[in-house]
Structures are given as C-alpha cells and as structure tokens.
C-alpha cells in the first residue's frame, strides 16, 4: 500500500519537475527566437489598378494578380488607382473601413494614406476599389479621386505577413459589369482578384 503510494507520489513529482523544466526550456527558446529575429524585416511593393488590360481587354484589373511576399515581414504597399470613378457599397457594408494595417513599425493602426494624408474609412458611396484579403483581415478602400493638388490616386499602407500560406486578394466594390457590377472583370481571376502567396 505504502509503496504504491510513494511510487505514485514520486511519479507525480517527476512529472511536475519535467513539466517545469520543459516550460523553462520552451520560454528560453521563445526568448532566443525573438532575440534572433531582431528588427522586423521590411519590403515594399507597388500595385496598379488599370482600366484596361495590356491586350485591350476591358478592366478594371490589378496589374499583378500573383503577388509573392516573404513571411513575417512588414510590407508597405502602394496602390496607384488608374481606374478612377466611384461606386457605392450597400449601407452597413464593413468594406468602407481600413482594417488590418499597421504603422511603419508594425503596430496596428487601421490606417491608409492618400498621398500622405491618413484615413481610416471612406464613405460607402465614394468607393472606387478595395484591396481586400479576407483570410488575413486586410481591407483597404481605395478612393476614386486624387488628394487635393495631386494628379495621381496613390494609396500607401503597411501590414505584417504571418507564416507561409496562399490567400485570395480581391476588390469588393461592384466595379465590374452587369446590373450588379460584380460581373465581367469582378468575377475573373487575373482582373480584380488574384493570389497572394506568403513564402516562409
Ligand atoms: Cu475594383
């Protein structure tokens, strides 16, 4: 009886000690990993929204629908909108708000910048396009009019990539054909929809 009890007690103590040691090792590893990572890696890219494909096919379309980005990196993206004009999203749509973006240090700020002017949302009837990655919680509404004194509609924002993965990015404004506006280029890969690959 006593022996069994002692054995059981010893087993529990060993188990606790192992768990504790493992915890220490894991937390030490965590520290080592974050120390080794150092400052956040950074990269930047430009995406252009065209009104017509190079082959003359009617757009609008993103000029790159196969984006490849490194994992765990602060990406600063500039979107040049060469297909201006505005459409409306239904009342209550969440896609007028900027989501999932960060400042230049990688801290969440849900802001985008039109020629340097920060904004956190656009009116739902002033939507030209969006850059949306639903699986990553990223949504950036793109205006259809340049900032005062500017010729070009240039929007800049940053976000931090996570681990490797393949995601769909798209525009969610009914900027295409048909009565709904979601026909034509809105429904075709390679136009207002593409693949974002995060490489580890
Ligand atoms: Cu669009």
Q: How far is the CA of 112 from the centre of ligand 1 (A)?
A: 17
How confident is the model over 143-200, as pLDDT tens digits? Answer: 999 999 999 999 999 999 999 999 999 999 998 888 888 888 887 778 999 999 999 9
Domain ranges in the chain?
A: 1-38, 40-199
Tell me the pTM. 0.80
Helix (H) / strand (E) element for 75: namely: strand 73-81
Q: How far is the CA of 85 from the centre of ligand 1 (A)?
A: 10
Using CA atoms, how far apart are residues 113 and 4, in angstroms rounded to an integer? 70
Task: Find all residues with CB under 8 Å of 94, minimum gap 6, and list them.
Answer: 139
Closest by Cα among 138, 133, 152 to 84: 152
How confident is the model over 4-55, as pLDDT tens digits? Answer: 444 554 454 444 444 444 444 444 444 334 444 568 899 999 999 999 999 9
Please give the CATH superfamily to which domain 40-199 belongs: Cupredoxins -  blue copper proteins (2.60.40.420)
How confident is the model over 65-80, as pLDDT tens digits? Answer: 999 999 999 999 999 9
Asked if residue 199 lies in contact with residue 43, where contact means CB atoms within 8 angstroms, the answer is: no
Ion ligand 1 neighbours (CB, 5 A) are 129, 171, 173, 175, 192
Q: How far is the CA of 115 from the centre of ligand 1 (A)?
A: 20
Q: How far is the CA of 172 from the centre of ligand 1 (A)?
A: 6
Q: How far is the CA of 192 from the centre of ligand 1 (A)?
A: 6
Task: Find all residues with CB under 8 Å of 190, minimum gap 6, and list them.
Answer: 61, 65
Beta bridge partners of 23: none
């Amino acid at each position: 009886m006593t022996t069994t009890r002692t054995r059981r007690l010893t087993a529990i103590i060993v188990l606790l000690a192992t768990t504790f040691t493992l915890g220490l090792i894991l937390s030490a590893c965590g520290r080592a990993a974050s120390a080794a990572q150092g400052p956040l890696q950074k990269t930047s890219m430009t995406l252009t929204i065209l009104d017509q494909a190079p082959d003359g096919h009617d757009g609008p379309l993103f000029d790159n629908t196969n984006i490849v980005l490194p994992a765990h990196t602060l990406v600063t993206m500039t979107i040049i909108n060469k297909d201006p004009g505005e459409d409306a999203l239904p009342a209550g749509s969440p896609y007028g708000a900027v989501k999932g973006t960060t400042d230049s240090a990688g801290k969440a700020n849900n802001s985008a910048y039109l020629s340097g002017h920060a904004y956190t949302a656009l009116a739902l009837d002033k939507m030209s396009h969006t850059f949306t990655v639903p699986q990553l919680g990223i949504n950036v509404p793109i205006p259809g009019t340049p900032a005062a004194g500017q010729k070009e509609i240039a929007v800049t924002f940053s976000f931090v990539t996570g681990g490797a993965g393949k995601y769909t990015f798209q525009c969610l404004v009914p900027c295409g054909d048909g009565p709904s506006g979601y026909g034509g280029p809105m429904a075709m890969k390679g136009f207002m929809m593409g693949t974002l690959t995060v490489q580890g």
